[in-house]
Amino acid sequence: MAQAKINAKANEGRFCRSSSMADRSSRLLESLDQLELRVEALREAATAVEQEKEILLEMIHSIQNSQDMRQISDEREELNLTANRLMGRTLTVEVSVETIRNPQQQESLKHATRIIDEVVNKFLDDLGNAKSHLMSLYSACSSEVPHGPVDQKFQSIVIGCALEDQKKIKRRLETLLRNIENSDKAIKLLEHSKGAGSKTLQQNAESRFN
């Protein structure tokens, strides 16, 4: 009888310890789950800051190379100084979100980056063809129905990249296409202003002879 009581107490102690360990494990797991949410929120916030930095730099660069800036003479120097100051302050913001990749994803990223770099290097030689090539690369990254040809080879390479890298590749292509579009507009405005100037000179010359 006494031995039975001793065994019962021992079993009760083991049960309490097991229950206590299970409770601790459950609390720790819950804490880790909450921390995981905060970690992902931190990464998303840092990624948003990265994107905002890219957008600001692009906007400042666009203003510096805009047609309005070219047409201003008196205050251009002061405006450029302000733009350079803003550019410098923006560059002081350093945010880095590292993407975890396996060897295959790393190789796919290198391959995709190399293809885009090769197209960018052809800008000066053949801007029109380079733009068409970039559009086919962008279509390969888009989930929407493409409006033009899709580079199937590039698409298979991008699919092999990590999800975060896929988004970055798409953003880079969007930025490059916007820059080309802005360059085209600037060239057309410049050609229009030259054409209007030539027409005015011609009209002035004709009026002198009449």
| Separation CA 41–CA 181 (nearest Å) | 34
Please check the confidence at residue 20 and state whether its pLDDT lies above 50. yes
| Separation CA 152–CA 141 (nearest Å) | 10
| Separation CA 35–CA 48 (nearest Å) | 20
Tokens of residue 182, six digits = 């802005």
Residue-wise pLDDT tens digits, 177-190 = 888 877 665 555 44
Q: Dihedral of CA 156/161/167/168: which sign? A: negative
Residue 66 binned pLDDT confidence (cut-offs 50, 70, 90): confident
Q: Please tell me the number of Cα atoms within 13 Å of 53 on its side-chain side.
A: 15
Residue position matching structure tokens 């309490």: 16
Q: What does the chain come to in residues?
A: 210
